[in-house]
Structure 1
Amino acid sequence: MENYYLVIVVLMLLLAIFDLIVGVSNDAVNFLTSAVGSKAASFKRIIIVASCGIFLGAISSGGMMEIAKKGIFNPSLFSFQNIIFIYVVVMVSDIFLLDLFNSLKLPTSTTISIVFELLGASLATSFLIVYDQGLPVNEWLEFINTKKAGEMIVAIFVSVLVAFSVGWLVQYILRLAVTFEYKKHMRIGGSIFGGLSVFIVINFIVNVAFKHSPLKNSEILVFLSSNTLGLFLITFTLAFLFFFLKSKKEGFDTFQVITMLGTFALAMAFASNDLVNFIGVPLAGLEAFVIWKDTGVSASAYKMEVFNDATQQLPFVIVLLVAAGIIMSLVLWTSKKAKNVIQTTVNLSRQADGVERFNGNIASRGAIKFVTAITKVITSLVPEAIKIAIERRYKREQRINVGAKELPPAFDLVRASVNLIVAAWLITLGTSLKLPLSTTYVSFMVVMGTSLADRAWNQDSAVYRVSGVFTVILGWFITALTALGISALLAVIVYYYEFVGVVIITILSAFGIFMVNRLTNNEVEAEIAIQLPTNWYVMSQKELGQALEEQLKDLSNYVFDFEQKLTNAIIKYDHKTIKELDDVVSKHNEQNLYYQAALIRQLRNVEVKDLEAGKILLTFYVEENEILRELSEAIKLAKQHVLNMHTPLDDLQIGTFHEYISLFEVFNNEIQPSNGNTLSVLQQQNKAIDAYVEKGINLQLQGLSEQKYTYKNSRLFLGSIIRHLHVSEYIIGLYTLIFPQEGGE
């Protein structure tokens, strides 16, 4: 029997590796968003700094298993068998849940996840113990540490409200002090903020990053933590002088240094404190096994009172911590899901307008209306002179690099440094007050608060950004409820089926992860920029036409391929192909909207005399979007027809569709570099398509008069052939746009 439990312990240690992978993918957003969003350095350098922080935090961690050993349940009332089964349920549940949220590109709290999984599994197990032993129902809750769960729920509200408010206030004050042209005010204002930031970071490392470290009782750390005022005076003075003197040097940016320093500190604290969320449970399971195996008592009879002793009992834990640090560092370099989760937060906090990831909803619109009404009342009480002064401080003169291949930073280094420093300060404060604040909640809500203070949420984006924030916050609550429910259900399976149950839940989790990854897209969404020569905005019409010619040909080829595949899918009732076409069109449409957004940002910064090239480009992308809209409508019709198994097309209708494919193939082949008569050839071919449409309409009308066709059949057929004509006309319009000389202009 001992070997069975050893297998479970080994399984948990293996699961811990996967938990580290999915956990770091989720929590990387806490310490990477600010540096990545502000482009404080290259992505490689940012990862190097964060990796150093993670590795040092991991090896300095210790005493981390208290939450797993006695933080949620009373170990003296559970047997070794009960606890080892609870732990394996928690690990299996945690990997599935975190992978699910990562795949959905939503940040969630690993602390909430692990706490509610422990709570759900222990609640279910203790209830079954009470039921089987015939104990009074009121003894059930004696098995559980209800206070801890209550603290975690309260911490959600505390973290959300406090972090958002403090982030907004600090950013608002600092922005008024240094403005968006912060380099002009960096010597004094930047040096003061730099001095405060260095103190906060050092104090953060001493009191938070080393909170669970074996070194926490060393003389130097005890001295520093007990002499906060002296630490402040020394670090602030030295840091202020350093930044003040270095600010004279050309190219030196105080806020860049603060951002990288804050990234290191938060990464270190994450590894030091949140490591329990990933390997605390399997290490506690390993310790339980080591203690039990030499007792000679059966697994179901041996009570785990020893877990009430907080003394660490694994002498080789440092080896496991080093291994964990290495794994977490490697995940930062390789995880696509980590980059996707980071992009979600960066997108919600970016300064520029453009395509929004989230749609508006009733809640976000209601919140914006309420806040707008309150704001109007408050601003009406502010003297006009003060409002003018504030607007002057918020004035932005920055002009983006028109034609650049990369998009500008989502926000500047001032906001990035505030994101990190305020988060570090709040986490330090929460630790000193013994409040169970979540690093995820604090980090995310500070970023949202600073975004609001910087007016990144304007009238065109506020509803969508708030909707995104509500979605993320709702995800946190769903995490808690889902973790509670799934772990409780799996605990019931394992309680009754024991080792067979462990196999069952492991297979279920693996299948769930497989399906989640199959149904979601984990490719990193690359930044989309206009792929044109740097000086597109000063090109002549002819030069720009030559640059767009290849894009037009690619678009026409894509339409031809689409029409072939969609026609065959409709004829064969091929659901899979229609789904694939839908995904590709959606991706093309999203890319087109990003092109338009990027172009509009650049058009706001070009000279009036250079707007003609922009007009051609923008018209091209708008017309391209109309073509994609036609294809999207075609997919909707096809999907409705095929999925609902409506009346199939008859041979005459199928033959008509094939005729169009042949006509469009000739049309597509004629799109080539302008030779003086290409446009006339295209127009002639379009007349043939027009005749095809007329023929198709007559065919359908005749069939209707003979009662051969139904409404839904007609809707698909007529909608398709009319769309065929629209698409060819749009393509001719694009050709005329980029080669106007053929149109006689």
Structure 2
Amino acid sequence: MDILFLVIVVFLIVLATIDLVVGVSNDAVNFLSSAVGAKVAKYRTILFVAAIGIFTGAALSNGMIDVARHGIMLPEHLSFYDVICVFLAVMVTDVVLLDIFNTLGMPTSTTVSMVFELLGGALAIAVIKLFSGATSSNGILLSLGDLINTEKAFSVIIGIFLSVAIAFVLGNIVQWIARIVFTFTYRVNGKTTNSEGETDGLISSSLKIGIFGGIAITSIIWFLLINGLKGSSIMTSDVKEAINDNTWLILGGGFTLFTIIMTILSAFKIPVLKFVVLLGTFALAMAFAGNDLVNFIGVPLTGLDAYSDYISNTTGDATSFKMTSLMNSAQTPTIYLIIAGIVMVIALMFSKKAQNVTKTSVDLSRQDEGDEMFGSIGAARVLARTTQKTAASITNHIPKSIVTWIDSRFNSNAAVLPQGAAFDQIRASVNLVLAGLLIAIGTSMKLPLSTTYVTFMVAMGTSLADRAWSRESAVFRITGVLSVIGGWFITAGAALILCFLVTNALFFGSFVAMMIAIITVIILLFRSNINYQKNNTQNKTDELFSKIIHCDDKTECWELLCKHVRSITKENLQLVAEKYEALTNAFFYEDYRTIKRTTIQTESQRKEIKRQRRKQIIALRHIDPILSVEKGTWYFLIINSLAQMVYCLKRMGEPCKEHVGNNFSPVPNIYIDEFLIFRNEIVNIINRAVSIENIEQIRDEAAKLQSNLSDYRKNIIHDIHTKHVNIESMTVFLNLVQESQELLSALRHTMRGEKKFEEQ
């Protein structure tokens, strides 16, 4: 029996390693997005700075894991078997949930997921105890308050709402003030602009940036003292007391010193803001590792402590041995912290999922228009309209001269951004400094603010203040923010419910259920990784689009756009050929699952074409206006014809799915054999059309085949009226033939558009 418990504890430790990798992938967005979005340095350099911060934070952390030990559940009334069920359920739920969110590219909070998993597991055990009439050592019936630390759970929930609202509002206000001061032209010639829009002198420019840098550096240092080092071994009670007693002296002295230093550096045109952003990245990474490490290794190490206590003092009954020892605080051995730090650094350096999650946060706060990751939902559309009307109403009551002056300070067209940057270094600095300040203030006030929530919502607030959400992109950005926020709350609910159910299954299913859970999580992680690798193949068309957006040479933009259109057309024609062949085969051979899968894929392709249309319309703005007008007509012919081909597949698929799903009579073999000849020719023509060579010849062949299909369709109609054929099956078959004709017609239009679009 004991050996099985050892296997479970070892598995918990293995899951802790996986959780470190998955957790770092998810939380990397907290400290990477600002530096990556502003392109302050090469990606590897930013990773190196963050890696140093992570390792330092992990090594200096004292490893207090009280949240896992007795922060949510109260283990003095729980047996060793009870806590093992809870810990295994927590780790299984945590790894699976976080991996799902990472794969979807959605940031979520490891703190909240762990707390709600512990709450769900503890609640499951509490319900079991209460229904079984469990008593304390004094013979008194246990209550819910004896088993669960409800106060801690409620404080976390309150912290969620506070952090989301406060971070967004303050991010908006602070960034608005910063932009009024600096505008978007602060980097031109190393100088800033004054209230009249004129270039400031060297002293004035240096002083502005110096004061901003002084505030930023002082805030970051204070954040490191209060938050980054709060759990470290060097932060003794005497040091904490000294910091608390001299807070204003430290802040005032630091501000004065750093303002002088930053002003001097700015006068010599040394990039002060780059230093601020990199230091902020280091600080947030350090605080993340020092404080959130418990989220990843707290539960497994508590399980190890529980097992050690059980083995040392047990009488052999795991269901009666109480975990009173877990009520005491424990410190993690330094070697564990160093190993955890190394694992986190390796995960950060090599995780593709970390880049994916960071991309979500950066894309939602991007200054310019581009490839929007999200569509639009009703709530986002209502919010966008309401906000626009409110803003217009407020603007009408402000003197026009003031509105004009403010608009001049927010002229993003004058921004000078590095190649590929999503926003400038002013905003990146505000993101990091404000996030650090809010987290530090929350820590000092004992408020359980989530690092993920604060950093993400500050970034959203600053991007809104910078007018990065234009009328063309606002609804997509709002949808993205609502999706991410919704994902956070779904995480909390899903973590609680899923862990509650898993804990019950483990408790009543004993070792059989535990082994099934272990095998299940291994399979899920393996499949998730394979699926992610398939979906994460780098699409060169997206890289081309990014080059077009950031290209200043209109001739080069045109060449890149031609490549992009050609690539999208080729990809969609190949998909149409594959789906058309799969759909017709599935209909004739009554393969319902393939028909259903193909119709779902067709709908996804339709949405993708719609997204590509929007991207390429944006790209058309970057070429010569006269050329854009001339080629725009042919571009729309291409993209609309591709969309029409997909609609043909959709109109084929729905009747076929209904027919086969209802198990109606199949099409007679004689008609199948006749049609397959046409079908194979159509697939061959579409595949040949992928190449833009011999366009006229292929169009002529398609027209001839279209005419032959028309004659064949008339023969089918004649047979329906004169022969004893099944009306249901022949009606669907007739629709298949008609849509095949339309498919060829749309293909001919696509090829004509391609030819005209490419002509010089």
TM over 0.5: yes
- Equivalent residue letter for 1:426: L
Pairwise CA distance, 1:568: 3.7
Residue correspondence of structure 1 range 26-175 to structure 2 within 5 A: 26-133=26-133, 139-175=143-179
Structure 2 Cα separation of the partners of residues 539 and 63 of structure 1: 55
Q: TM-score, normalised by structure 1?
A: 0.88
Q: What is aligned with 2:359?
A: 343
- Equivalent residue letter for 1:274: D
Pairwise CA distance, 1:296: 4.1
For residue 625 of structure 2, the aligned residue among 607, 611, 614 is 611
Structure 2 Cα separation of the partners of residues 535 and 379 of structure 1: 34
- Equivalent residue letter for 1:504: I
Q: What is aligned with 2:749?
A: 729
Which whole-Å deviations, capped at 9, do the CAs of 1:617-675 have from their partners, x for residues lacking one? 6555533322431342244244434543435444335534533543674686589787x
8 Å CA contact 2:30, 2:452 repeated in 1 = yes
2:512 is aligned with 1:496: no
Pairwise CA distance, 1:453: 0.5
Pairwise CA distance, 1:249: 4.1
Structure 1 Cα separation of the partners of residues 280 and 666 of structure 2: 63
Structure 1 Cα separation of the partners of residues 559 and 62 of structure 2: 68
2:295 is aligned with 1:282: no
Q: What is aligned with 1:537?
A: 554
Q: What is aligned with 2:640?
A: 626
- Equivalent residue letter for 1:260: L
Structure 2 Cα separation of the partners of residues 472 and 615 of structure 1: 38
For residue 689 of structure 1, the aligned residue among 694, 705, 708 is 705
Pairwise CA distance, 1:233: 2.9
Distance 1:56 1:194, change over 3 A: same
Q: Look up the SS of the partner of 1:118 in the other structure.
A: helix
Pairwise CA distance, 1:410: 1.8
Structure 2 Cα separation of the partners of residues 148 and 546 of structure 1: 57
Q: What is aligned with 2:25?
A: 25
Residue correspondence of structure 1 range 435-450 to structure 2 within 5 A: 435-450=447-462
Structure 2 Cα separation of the partners of residues 366 and 430 of structure 1: 33
Q: What is aligned with 2:13?
A: 13
Distance 1:244 1:582, change over 3 A: farther
Structure 2 Cα separation of the partners of residues 15 and 58 of structure 1: 18
2:413 is aligned with 1:397: yes
For residue 441 of structure 2, the aligned residue among 426, 429, 454 is 429
Q: Look up the SS of the partner of 1:105 in the other structure.
A: coil
2:536 is aligned with 1:523: yes
Residue correspondence of structure 1 range 205-284 to structure 2 within 5 A: 205-217=224-236, 223-224=242-243, 226-250=245-269, 252-284=270-302
- Equivalent residue letter for 2:279: L
For residue 479 of structure 1, the aligned residue among 476, 491, 511 is 491
Residue correspondence of structure 1 range 540-689 to structure 2 within 5 A: 563-573=580-590, 600-601=617-618, 603-604=620-621, 610-615=624-629, 618-619=632-633, 621-646=635-660, 648-650=666-668, 651-652=670-671, 654-659=673-678, 661-662=680-681, 665=684, 681-689=697-705
Structure 2 Cα separation of the partners of residues 553 and 143 of structure 1: 62
Structure 2 Cα separation of the partners of residues 57 and 540 of structure 1: 45
8 Å CA contact 1:540, 1:613 repeated in 2 = no
Q: What is aligned with 1:510?
A: 522
Structure 1 Cα separation of the partners of residues 144 and 557 of structure 2: 80
Pairwise CA distance, 1:433: 0.5
Structure 1 Cα separation of the partners of residues 674 and 61 of structure 2: 72
Structure 2 Cα separation of the partners of residues 257 and 590 of structure 1: 42
Distance 1:124 1:684, change over 3 A: closer
8 Å CA contact 2:703, 2:744 repeated in 1 = no
Q: Look up the SS of the partner of 2:298 in the other structure.
A: helix
Pairwise CA distance, 1:325: 0.8
Structure 2 Cα separation of the partners of residues 239 and 544 of structure 1: 47
Pairwise CA distance, 1:278: 0.5
Which whole-Å deviations, capped at 9, do the CAs of 1:673-721 have from their partners, x for residues lacking one? 87xxx56544533431341242233134224424554343333331222
Structure 2 Cα separation of the partners of residues 528 and 539 of structure 1: 14
More displaced stretch, 694-703 vs 91-100: 694-703
Structure 1 Cα separation of the partners of residues 17 and 351 of structure 2: 14
8 Å CA contact 2:635, 2:753 repeated in 1 = no
8 Å CA contact 2:82, 2:125 repeated in 1 = yes
- Equivalent residue letter for 2:741: I
8 Å CA contact 1:68, 1:284 repeated in 2 = yes
Pairwise CA distance, 1:567: 4.1
Distance 1:218 1:155, change over 3 A: closer
Pairwise CA distance, 1:722: 1.7
Distance 1:553 1:20, change over 3 A: closer
Pairwise CA distance, 1:273: 0.4
Structure 1 Cα separation of the partners of residues 617 and 687 of structure 2: 30
8 Å CA contact 1:37, 1:410 repeated in 2 = yes
- Equivalent residue letter for 1:139: S
Structure 2 Cα separation of the partners of residues 308 and 660 of structure 1: 72
Pairwise CA distance, 1:245: 2.3
Residue correspondence of structure 1 range 375-386 to structure 2 within 5 A: 375-386=391-402
More displaced stretch, 268-277 vs 488-497: 488-497
Distance 1:410 1:670, change over 3 A: closer
Distance 1:702 1:400, change over 3 A: farther
More displaced stretch, 147-156 vs 530-539: 530-539
Q: What is aligned with 1:743?
A: none
Structure 1, unpaired ranges of 5+: 741-745
Pairwise CA distance, 1:502: 1.6
Q: Look up the SS of the partner of 1:64 in the other structure.
A: coil
Pairwise CA distance, 1:573: 4.5
Q: What is aligned with 1:318?
A: 334
- Equivalent residue letter for 2:745: L
Distance 1:211 1:494, change over 3 A: same
Distance 1:506 1:616, change over 3 A: farther
Distance 1:292 1:648, change over 3 A: same
Distance 1:24 1:688, change over 3 A: same
- Equivalent residue letter for 1:538: T
Pairwise CA distance, 1:178: 0.5
8 Å CA contact 2:572, 2:642 repeated in 1 = no
Structure 2 Cα separation of the partners of residues 73 and 552 of structure 1: 57
2:701 is aligned with 1:701: no
- Equivalent residue letter for 1:153: I
Pairwise CA distance, 1:87: 1.4
Q: What is aligned with 1:200?
A: 219
Structure 1 Cα separation of the partners of residues 690 and 543 of structure 2: 26
Structure 1 Cα separation of the partners of residues 318 and 459 of structure 2: 48
Distance 1:544 1:155, change over 3 A: closer
More displaced stretch, 173-182 vs 79-88: 79-88
Structure 1 Cα separation of the partners of residues 41 and 531 of structure 2: 34
Distance 1:144 1:391, change over 3 A: same
More displaced stretch, 543-552 vs 361-370: 543-552
8 Å CA contact 1:400, 1:602 repeated in 2 = no
8 Å CA contact 1:537, 1:611 repeated in 2 = no
Structure 2 Cα separation of the partners of residues 652 and 536 of structure 1: 56
Q: TM-score, normalised by structure 2?
A: 0.87
Q: Look up the SS of the partner of 1:397 in the other structure.
A: helix
Structure 1 Cα separation of the partners of residues 557 and 298 of structure 2: 64
Q: Look up the SS of the partner of 2:313 in the other structure.
A: coil
Pairwise CA distance, 1:457: 1.5
Q: Look up the SS of the partner of 1:354 in the other structure.
A: coil
Matched positions, count: 726
More displaced stretch, 500-509 vs 448-457: 500-509
Structure 1 Cα separation of the partners of residues 15 and 459 of structure 2: 32
- Equivalent residue letter for 1:209: G
- Equivalent residue letter for 2:19: D
- Equivalent residue letter for 1:229: W
Residue correspondence of structure 1 range 180-191 to structure 2 within 5 A: 180-183=184-187, 184-185=191-192, 187-191=206-210
Which whole-Å deviations, capped at 9, do the CAs of 1:265-295 have from their partners, x for residues lacking one? 1111111001111101111111222233222
